[in-house]
Structures are given as structure tokens and as C-alpha cells.
Amino acid sequence: MRLAHTVHRPACRARNAATHNRRRDPRGIALYKHSMIHATQLCRAGLAGLRDLEKSEIEAVVAYWHRGGADLAHLGVDTARMGTPDDMRRWYRSRLRTGDKAQPQIAYAITLDANLVGYTLLNRYERGIGHSHWHIIARDVRAQGISSALYPHRIKMYFDTSDIQRLTHQTLTRNIGVNRMLDKFVAVAETGFVTNPDGLALPGEFHMRYVTRADVPRLFEIAARSTA
Ligand SMILES: CC(C)(COP(=O)(O)OP(=O)(O)OC[C@H]1O[C@@H](n2cnc3c(N)ncnc32)[C@H](O)[C@@H]1OP(=O)(O)O)[C@@H](O)C(=O)NCCC(=O)NCCS
């Protein structure tokens, strides 16, 4: 089942199309909103894509966390960090991309055939350190190659839209799906018990992997080899 909060857009876009939505305000002035499509990539599930999360889609993220979408136990979530649904609505409103590369948190939509199927969040910290989170919300499209197909585009998008210098992937060692996806592109650099993990997670055993801007071309080469 696809999410209730879907956004219908033309299914076919060029890769990395820099498309802004054009809106008009009541005075008839054209307004350009930073709702950019960052990438599309065919995969076996269909046309996967990445674009800025839109305000109307925040409710889908809130429902994922607060109405039974996310497997909180499997994800090792510290429910005390989740806040209330209203807290989360407020947080995500401030995470919609503004275009400022120093924005501390940016939320992006993951799409399949132009429908919202998940989201990703980039957290930017001091000294150019970034941490990302990635959730395919629609369970019926998991394990169909979407995250693997989008991985190089995802990393390019983070470095294109934020001034981070290095991205850390911090993944629970027991999360087989996410680790199998990352194993294709980036080796585990260290594994250990993390007492204060990024995001909503409780302390636990995590793999750490690091990616820099300079790695981006290599990630696309790996993807090209795997589909050749
Ligand atoms: C984990 C997750 C990100 C994987 O995304 P995905 O789009 O399903 O990943 P892919 O389809 O690209 O799969 C990558 C590989 O992992 C495998 N895989 C995916 N989910 C799996 C699972 N639950 N168990 C075992 N293998 C799994 C796929 O079969 C594929 O293997 P292959 O390419 O060798 O055949 C996605 O399932 C998800 O968002 N889950 C809930 C939230 C979550 O765990 N986020 C990550 C937090 S760190």
C-alpha cells in the first residue's frame, strides 16, 4: 500500500533536474519555492526519486513515527526523543529546505513514480560533520532496490545542498537491510557501542561509515558497474 499523502507529478524527469515549483501569491507575483527535484533513477521497482520534502508531506512523516508506521523496537528508538506529534510537525516545518547551505537540518522526500514513499533527513553539525537518516516509509516497496539505486544521488544531493564536509552513516548492526545497502558502496570504518547516537535512537551497537564529497564520483562508478 502506498502512502495516503501522495504528490502526483509527471513520472519522467531528467536525472538531477533542477526544477522549482512556480507559485503565484495573491498579488500575482511569481514565487519560486525551493522544492527541487534532485534526482531520478530507474530501479526494478520503478522510477525512484529524491526531492525536497514539502509542507503537505510532513503529516506522512508524523504518521510514520506516531501512528504505527515505524518499527520502533527494531529501529531501537528512544521514544522520549520522539516528542509529541505536534512537536514533530513543528520540527519538520523548520526542516523544509530553505536553500541556505548552513541550514542545520534538511528533510527530503524519497519518491517512487512521483509518489512519496519515504524521507531522508540530513543533520549538519559544527566542523562540517553531517549525519543522515533514511526511511522507506511504504513497507510494500522495501527490498526492491530503491535505496541502493538512489544511494549515489542521495550523497551528491547532501553535498550539493549543504556545506557539510564529511557524512557519517551510523547504523545499528542488527539492521540488515540498511547495512546490506551501504555495504555495496562504503566499507564499515568502525563498529562499537554508541552511548548517544544521532537522531532518535537509544544507545546500542552501531557500524560507522564515512563519506566525503570527493567520494561522490566513485559512488556513481560503483552504481554503474553494478547495473552494467
Ligand atoms: C533498511 C532500508 C533503508 C533498506 O532500503 P531498501 O530500499 O529496502 O533497500 P534495497 O532494496 O536497496 O536493498 C538493499 C539490499 O538489502 C536487502 N534488504 C533490504 N531489506 C532487507 C531486510 N529487511 N532484510 C534482509 N535484507 C534486506 C535487499 O534485498 C538488498 O539486497 P541485495 O541487493 O543484495 O539483493 C528500508 O527497508 C527502510 O527504510 N527500513 C525502515 C527504516 C530503516 O531501517 N532505516 C535505516 C535506519 S539506519
Using the predicted structure, report yes or no on whether residue 10 has a pLDDT greater than 90. no
Cell 553494478 belongs to 226
Name every protein residue with a CB atom under 6 angstroms from any ligand 1 atom: 75, 134-136, 142-148, 171, 175-178, 180-181
**Pairing mode, if any, of strands 166-172 and 190-194?**
unpaired
pLDDT digits (tens, 9 = 90+) for 83-129: 999 999 999 999 999 999 999 999 999 999 999 999 999 999 999 99
Residue nearest atom 23 in ligand 1 by C-alpha distance: 177
What per-residue confidence (pLDDT) applies to 17? 42
Was domain 21-227 assigned CATH 3.40.50.2000? no
pLDDT digits (tens, 9 = 90+) for 145-202: 999 999 999 999 999 999 999 999 999 999 999 999 999 999 999 999 999 999 999 9
3-state secondary structure 7-45: CCCCCCCCCCCCCCEEEECCCCCEEEECCCEEEEEEECC
Residues ≥6 apart with Cβ < 8 Å to 29 = none
Residue nearest atom 13 in ligand 1 by C-alpha distance: 143
pTM value surpassing 0.75: yes
Residue nearest atom 37 in ligand 1 by C-alpha distance: 142
Domain boundaries, the chain: 21-227
Q: What is the mean pLDDT of residues 21-29?
A: 48
